[in-house]
Amino acid sequence: MGCKPVQNKKMWSLQDTLKLKNMLEGEFLASKLFVDSKLIDSIDVQFGVHEIGKDSLLYLSVSNFGEDSAAYRDNYYILKDTIKSNISSSIPIFNSNFSSPSLIDNHFHYWGLKESDTKTGNTDIFAMKYNFSNHKIDSVFLGNYLIATDFRDYFKQPSFENENYYYQNENYIWTLNKSFQLLQKSKSNNKNQKPINI
């Protein structure tokens, strides 16, 4: 893949793309991330590499790169200069397995998960929006649920369409307006279905 400048005109590139597969995640593409010809990490191609501000990169790492059945998508990192930091250490209630983040208009949207009952395993679920520039966080409580799965894509990546944000899992779609206020909760019969009021 082509090179792009970042970090005071340093160049980053993706090389050696492989198709990997494991029992839990199925097939996914992974590549090696280089900055100025230096190998930094292995990354998930679907999430990609995102430039944050003027000097940082955001990506989802892949562990055991090249070992087909043993490879898996791991943690989200921010790379600044040569130092990488796990994003879980800088934003609240972020879960690398289930938060399924996306970048929309330079804001980091993700599912916030906070265990509310250690006996039942029930979890409070939030729609979250984080601004990398001023570190402002917006959150909207979506409900309390039992997450009885290990499937990391159970929560879909948040999306923006027709002036609304959409947060969707296997069962429901939550629609929020541009001011990040909850408009409706809808049944989700398939991954491409638009909201239908309930």
The pLDDT tens digits for 107-127 are 999 999 999 887 888 999 999
Query: Residue 190: which pLDDT band, with cuts at 50, 70 and 90?
Result: low
pTM: 0.84
Residue 191, pLDDT above cutoff 70? no
Instruction: Please state the φ and ψ torsions of residue 30, each to the nearest 5 degrees.
Output: -135, 150
Domain range list for the chain: 4-88, 92-187
Which distant-in-sequence residues (6+ apart) come within 8 Å of 174 by Cβ? 127, 140, 142, 166, 167, 168, 182, 184, 185, 186
